Each structure stands twice: as structure tokens, then as C-alpha cells.
């Protein structure tokens, strides 16, 4: 039986805000009910400032309040923020079943969701164009 995609509430916008939350050199990932891993975050409410939506979603999914979010990238209907967290006392919502602070070098060893794999690509260094072409 195929999984049915959950309908978004009418109050949600089409924009999703995801948060790269670091504790030392590790990144917080949340485990979905299908056993894939993703970044914390979710849909911003209609009329809600994106950064406020990112803070709200992060709190709803982790129980950790963050205030210092820096924008690190944008995609189609996605905005990415970066923050540091001091707490490892994560309180999961019903959307997730586990969490892990994963060393940055091991993130791609996780069973990432397709969206998370794409989201994490903004961490990869951009190739610099040679100034002099031979």
C-alpha cells in the first residue's frame, strides 16, 4: 500500500525553512518515521516572516529555542539557516522518532531522505572558476 502524502494545512505557505544546527563539529539530524534522516525545519505559515517560521519549526521539532539564525542559502521554495546549539536535550515531536548529532564528515553516511540529500548539498564547497584558463 503506497504511503499517502499528508495534505498541508491551509495556513502553511509553500516555503520551507530548514536549519543546520551545529553542536561543536556535529550537525543535528532528525529521523523520520520511514527511517530516513533530515534537517529540522518545516513550512512557514502564510504571512509569517521566514526567519520566525524557521525558529518556530525548529522549536516544534526539537524543543530547543534558537535565536541566532543566519541565512546560508536558498533553493526553490526552501530557505536554509545555520545556528549553534548548546543543548543536546532534544524533545522530539510526533513527526520524528529519533535524533542524532552527526559529525559533519559522516552526514552522507546516514540514510538521508531525498530532500535532505539535496538540502545538504549547499554544504559542499562551490567549485571556483579558474581565473586564468589555459
Report, at the CATH architecture level, how domain 12-123 is classified. Answer: Alpha-Beta Complex (3.90)
Q: How many CA atoms lie within 13 A of 107 on its CB side?
A: 24
Model pTM? Answer: 0.85
Closest CA to 92 of 28, 27, 46: 28
Query: Strands, DSSP E only, in the chain?
Result: 12-23, 26-32, 37-38, 41-45, 70-75, 78-84, 96-103
pLDDT, tens only, 56-71: 999 999 999 999 999 9
Contact predicate 27/10, CB 8 Å: no
pLDDT digits (tens, 9 = 90+) for 76-126: 899 999 999 999 899 999 999 999 999 999 999 999 999 999 999 887 766
Amino acid at each position: 500500500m503506497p504511503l499517502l502524502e499528508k495534505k498541508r494545512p491551509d495556513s502553511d505557505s509553500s516555503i520551507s525553512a530548514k536549519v543546520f544546527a551545529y553542536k561543536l563539529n556535529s550537525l543535528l539530524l532528525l529521523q523520520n518515521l520511514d527511517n530516513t534522516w533530515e534537517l529540522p525545519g518545516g513550512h512557514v505559515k502564510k504571512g509569517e516572516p521566514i526567519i520566525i517560521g524557521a525558529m518556530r519549526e525548529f522549536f516544534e521539532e526539537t524543543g530547543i529555542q534558537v535565536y541566532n539564525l543566519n541565512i546560508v542559502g536558498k533553493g526553490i521554495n526552501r530557505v536554509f539557516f545555520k545556528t549553534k546549539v548548546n543543548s543536546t536535550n532534544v524533545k522530539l515531536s510526533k513527526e520524528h522518532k529519533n535524533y542524532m548529532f552527526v559529525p559533519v564528515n559522516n552526514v552522507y553516511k546516514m540514510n538521508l531522505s531525498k530532500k535532505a540529500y539535496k538540502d545538504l548539498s549547499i554544504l559542499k564547497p562551490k567549485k571556483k572558476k579558474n581565473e586564468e584558463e589555459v
